[in-house]
Amino acid sequence: MRLRAGLLRQVPRVTVLLLTLPVLAGLAGTLIPAANPAALRALANWPGLEGAVRLSLVSGIASTLLALMLSLGLVAALLEHRSFGRVQALLSPLLSVPHAAAALGLAFLIAPSGWIARMLSPWATGWTTPPDLLILNDPMGLALIVGLTAKEMPFLLLMILAALPQVDANRRLTLAASLGYGRIAGFGLTVLPALYPLIRLPIYAVLAYAMTSVEMAMILGPSLPPGLSVQITQWMTDPSLAHRGTAAAAALLQLVLVIATLALWHGAERLIRRALRRQAARGRRAVPLDLLRRPLITLSVVLAAALFAGLAGLSLWSVAGLWPFPDLLPDWTLTTWTRVAPDLLTTTGTTLTLALLSTGAALGLVLSSLEAEHRYRLSPGAGAMALLYLPLIMPQVAFLPGLQIAALRLGAMEGVLAVASAHLIFVLPYVYLSLAAPYRAFDPRIALQATALGAGPARIFWTLRLPMLLSAVLTAAAVGVAVSVGQYLPSLLIGGGRVETLTTEAIALSSGGNRRIVGAYALLQMLLPALGFALAIGLPRLVFRHRRGMLPA
Amino acid sequence: MNRRDFGWLAIAALTIAGTAQAQTPGQTPGQTQAQTPAPTPTQTWAEVESAAKGQTVYFHAWGGDPKINDFIAWVGEQAQSRYGVSIEHVKLAATSDAVARVVAEQAAGQSEGGAVDLIWINGENFAAMKAEGLLHGPFATNLPNWPLVDVAGKPAVTTDFTLPTEGYESPWAMAQLVFEYDSVRVPAPPVSLTLLQDWIVAHPGRFTYPQPPDYLGTTFLKQVLYGVIADPAVLQTAVDEASYEATVAPLWTFLDTIHPALWRAARAFPANEPAMGQLLADAEIDIAFALNPGRASAEITAGTLADTTRTFVLDGGTIGNASFVAIPFNASHKEGALVVANLLLDPAVQARAQDPAVLGFQTVLNPAALSPEATAAFAALQLGVATLSPADLGPTLLEPHASWMTRISTDWITRYGVVQ
């Protein structure tokens, strides 16, 4: 018993150690080539630098802000409402859509030759060929912002839903309403202050992701110049191998940008908190604010519907033969599916194995770390947090070569285990940040009661804490599975191309931008994580079918 | 020492001398030392085949085209049934992903047991790997099927972007730039550069090209360069700094003229060949181009492009090059890789690649060197509804020296890469 307790105490340290080597190796892989005057000069001389930096900042901040406002607005407007359960059920497939597929779907929807234009042509528009309109890849990055917002909103919503049970939102809202506050004002003044700290880490992850994402920016974003992340990828994959230094310097710049933006965001949080407090002291009921409910809901629904319609369009492409403009529907054929079918079973199996291995390991490490943290009153240092976050905010294409060289030096096996370990580096932070806040918000009085009744810490963990946090744990696991399924470069580079997953196949095939193939794979890629999320939402309902109070609102 | 040994050594010596010259100033001379010595020179082909039996060759090749993936799968079946070699196609989004893997293995000191056995490569990727000593060889000229290759008639099979291949890569397909158009929307295709320019200006928004440094986009720039400069012979040597600006000035004039009339007024460009192909299929543009004379026919057969699509070339010829396979210095299954490289030169395999219903890639073989059955197999191929006959394809222009590609795409980015 003593031995086991000693082990548990060490878990946070072991977790940090496990991450240290790969993260440092990846960091070294980025920083060493960047610390080269020629590379820095090449970056500074790139004429697109200013535009690329502006684009990364604007699209990252705007989309995160929009996604946050919409998801908070939706929760504020719909909490306690009957349709709330349905919103949740709709979310899961959206969440698991790969970014590239979501972007391609959206692109097909809104392009001048896209579905909306086809619906209206030629009878309403008179177009027999698509008009020459700059809708996608617009220099302002508006299409990109819409895409990122639509894709990140479901993730934030899910994070909010996982945290809500910890803040007793319904009773706070009832109290505010009984004092005559409007719904949105009541939410902002009573629920948000308790809720926000629980979702802060996921928001930071979304912000970092939006600033560094490559696939969405490549499909929807401008290219003259492209965002910094896209340009880094282009330099890194330049066939002459001559621009890897420039790529590394740009990756360093991106790292600095992300950190600065996170700091800025943190500063803004303080300002808003102060403003909210002043507002609360003033006691204004702000009922007219509730007029915003309808536009907020409408906008969220439109975005979600666009994502769904885009994905429906992509799915149609997977069974499409010729599909010329302005036909609304294609000629049908199963060619695409018969093409992808033969390898499907094995690649799906490999993908699932990797996801379960990495997510299982991450859950084990995170849960034991959090439990150790709680029992021994440890708190994670700033260094450990930075280590955890680095893999999320570093551009993978610059981060991975260092990791790969380290793996080869260690004589690391290729194969499934090595790739699963690489996935763990990216899965662990997401699992941690989905789980940490709900875990820490667990009402200590429950554990106190149990202790008073004679239960030991282990029993409290297994019979109280874990079951009561089931929803949050499963959500974290589903996020972990989705992250693992989505990994392309780690699977390819660490696996040496010998570990085939749905995503390595899909990305290689979609490098051709082939909508038919992308449509087929996107459906499959959605299926696995969607299963995970469906379990995350459905399982607690099954387990707690006789204890409705245990379910999230 | 028998004659074959001498051949290996001589080529190796030449190569080391060649790479030493080709080195860029930033490299340390020590890196040439890493060039692999000629592989097991005593091995006869029979020994290669018997060693290859049972091996699995990890073939790293771009996976963006389902037609090509199907073809590689078919080659894998052939290799299995004929030689007991299986092929695992590692589908890449970019060839440089595989190059990066080999670079990392070299950096980690892994000189054998590498992950990449065979790699589909050409141009800059090849130049980089050769200069860094990342390639196994020379091997190509020792393959049993090498005598069938049309070295005299298709100089691109031994000269990759003016860089002599010296046996470090083996060709498997010929490519040539052809323009694709919908014959319904474009009744009379513009068959010279001047006509093309006039057509673009007269039809705003109906033409574009992939954004450099994309491979195909840069090929278009080089094609224009061929048509507008006074003496195209300068393209066969490295860029001469003193005369560069004056030489390429007509190219920028040409682009300045057409850009306002391009798709999206040149404020956006498609990313690559497939993206541009999709624009043609969506009728967003009327004329596209590809580095494969058979692409349009193959797409029509696959039902993804309107059957009214046709192709044309420009007066004076269009740029052509070859696709190669190379073996990394630390490949785990070199014998298997050699067998596959040789199989790719097999007349039956080449004929299948040229079939417009399969790939529509032109063969690298010399028709005169083939057996009567092989000749018949090629003769039996349908040309494909949109493919030009060899006579109509016109002359092939050689790829300019790789430095031109680098230089003009860099300058393109400076001039047009940032919207004002």
For chain B, which domains are there?
A: 3-172+324-384 (3.40.190.10), 178-290+397-416 (3.40.190)
The nearest alpha carbon in chain A to B122 belongs to A239
pLDDT at B236: 92
Residue A112 lies in a domain: yes
| Full DSSP string of A511-551 | TTT-HHHHHHHHHHHHHHHHHHHHHHHHHHHHHTTT-GGGS
Give residue A512's pLDDT band: very low, low, confident or very high (50, 70, 90).
Answer: low
Q: Which among B219, B113, B125, B215 has a CA at the least distance from the CA of B169? A: B125
Mind telling me how many Å the CA of A59 is from chain B's nearest CA? 17
Residue B77, both tokens: 């079946």
pLDDT at A412: 60
Q: Closest Cα to residue A144, out of A109, A106, A112, A113?
A: A106
Amino acid at A423: H
Query: Alpha-carbon distance A184 to A172, whole Å?
Result: 12
Strand partners, B396: B318
Q: What is the band of A420 on the pLDDT scale with cuts at 50, 70, 90? A: very high
d(CA A310, CA A332): 18
Using the structure block, give the residue that is written with the tokens 């392309």. A488
CB B177, CB B320: distance < 8 Å: yes
Mean pLDDT to the nearest integer, B177-184: 96
Nearest in space to A387 (alpha carbons), one of A53, A18, A87, A85: A18
Cβ of B124 within 8 Å of Cβ of A240? The answer is yes
pLDDT value at A224 more than 60 = yes
A6 located within any domain:
no
- ipTM, 2 dp: 0.81
Question: pLDDT at residue A495 above 70?
Answer: yes
Instruction: Specify if A2 maps to a domain.
Output: no
Residue of A347, A408, A410, A489 for testing the chain B interface, max B β-carbons within 10 Å: A408
Q: Greater confidence, A201 or A51?
A: A51
Question: How, if at all, do strands B56-62 and B396-397 pair?
Answer: unpaired
- Residue ranges in B203-240 assigned as alpha helix (H): 215-228
8 Å CB contact between A232 and A248: no
Interface test with B, best of A246, A344, A511 (most B CBs within 10 A): A511
Arithmetic mean of pLDDT, B52-66:
92
Q: B90 - beta bridge partners?
A: B60
**Is A7 part of any domain?**
no
Q: Examine the pLDDT at B30 and tell me if it is beyond 70.
A: no
Query: Under a CB-based contact definition with an 8 Å cutoff, are residues A508 and B91 in contact?
Result: yes
Instruction: Indicate if the pLDDT at residue A5 is higher than 70.
Output: no
What mean pLDDT do residues A293-320 have? 89
pLDDT at A96: 66
Residue A380 forms contact with B (CB below 8 Å): no
**Host H or E run for residue B419:** none
User: Which residues lie closer than 8 Å to B401 by C-beta, 6 or more apart?
Assistant: B161, B162, B235, B236, B237, B238, B239
Q: Residue B23's pLDDT is what? A: 33
Q: Residues B124, B127, B133, B136: is their CA dihedral positive or negative? A: positive
Residue B405: list chain A partners with CB under 8 A. Answer: none
Q: Which residues of A touch B414 (CB under 8 A)?
A: 47
Q: Which residue has the tokens 């060929």?
A: A129
User: Which residues 490-549 of A are in CB contact (within 8 Å) with B?
Assistant: 492-493, 496-498, 504-505, 507-517
**Is the pLDDT score of A1 beyond 50?**
no
Residues of A in contact with B402 (CB under 8 A): 240
pLDDT digits (tens, 9 = 90+) for A237-273: 777 777 888 988 998 899 899 989 999 999 999 999 9
The pLDDT of residue A44 is above 50: yes
Q: Distance between CA atoms of B379 and B390, rounded to whole angstroms? A: 12
Q: Is residue A8 part of a domain?
A: no
- In sequence order, the 6+-apart residues with CB closer than 8 A to the CB of B254 are B193, B197, B224, B228
- CB contact under 8 Å between B98 and A497, yes or no, is yes
**B380 vs chain A: nearest CA distance in angstroms?**
26
| Tokens linked to A9 | 């105490």
| CATH, residue A147 | 1.10.3720.10
Does residue A412 or residue B5 have the better pLDDT? A412
Residues in chain A: 553
DSSP strand pairing (B396-397 vs B159-160): unpaired
Q: What is the pLDDT of residue B420?
A: 59
- Any domain includes A3: no
Integer Cα distance of A406 and B104 in angstroms = 9
- pLDDT, tens digit, for every residue of B358-372? 888 989 999 899 999
Mean predicted lDDT score pLDDT of chain A: 85
Range of the domain at A138: 13-550
Query: If you measure CA to CA, which chain B residue comes closest to A407?
Result: B108
Sign (positive/negative) of CA torsion A455, A456, A459, A461? positive
Is residue A427 within 8 A of residue A19, CB to CB? The reply is no
* A1 belongs to a structural domain: no
Structurally, chain A folds into a number of domains equal to 1
Q: What are the CA-CA distances from residue A516 to residues A319, A434, A472, B358 (Å)?
A: 7, 34, 36, 18
The reply to whether A355 falls in a domain is: yes
Q: Report how many helices (DSSP H) and strands (DSSP E) chain B contains, helices first.
A: 16, 11
What percent of chain A is predicted at pLDDT more than 70?
A: 93
Helix (H), strand (E) at residue B10: helix B3-22
Rounded Cα–Cα distance for residues B52 and B72 (Å):
18
Residue A309 main-chain phi, psi, to 5 deg: -65, -40
What DSSP element (H or E) covers A238?
none
Q: Which chain B residue's Cα is nearest to A398?
A: B100
pLDDT of residue B214: 87
Q: Tokens for B17, please give them.
A: 């001398």
**Looking at residues A20-40, what average pLDDT do you find?**
83
The DSSP element (H or E) to which A75 belongs, if any, is helix A49-78
Q: What is the mean pLDDT of residues B203-226?
A: 94
| Lowest-confidence segment of A17-31, A104-118, A413-427 by average pLDDT | A17-31
Which residues does chain B have within 8 Å of residue A497's beta carbon, measured at their own beta carbons? 58, 60, 90, 92, 98, 101, 115-116
Output B416 or A237, whichever has higher pLDDT.
B416
Which residues, in sequence order, are CB contacts of B65 under 8 Å at separation 6+? A512, A514, B274
Contact call for residues A200 and A190 (beta carbons, < 8 A): no
Give the neighbor-by-neighbor strand order of the sheet with B309-312.
B287-290, B178-182, B309-312
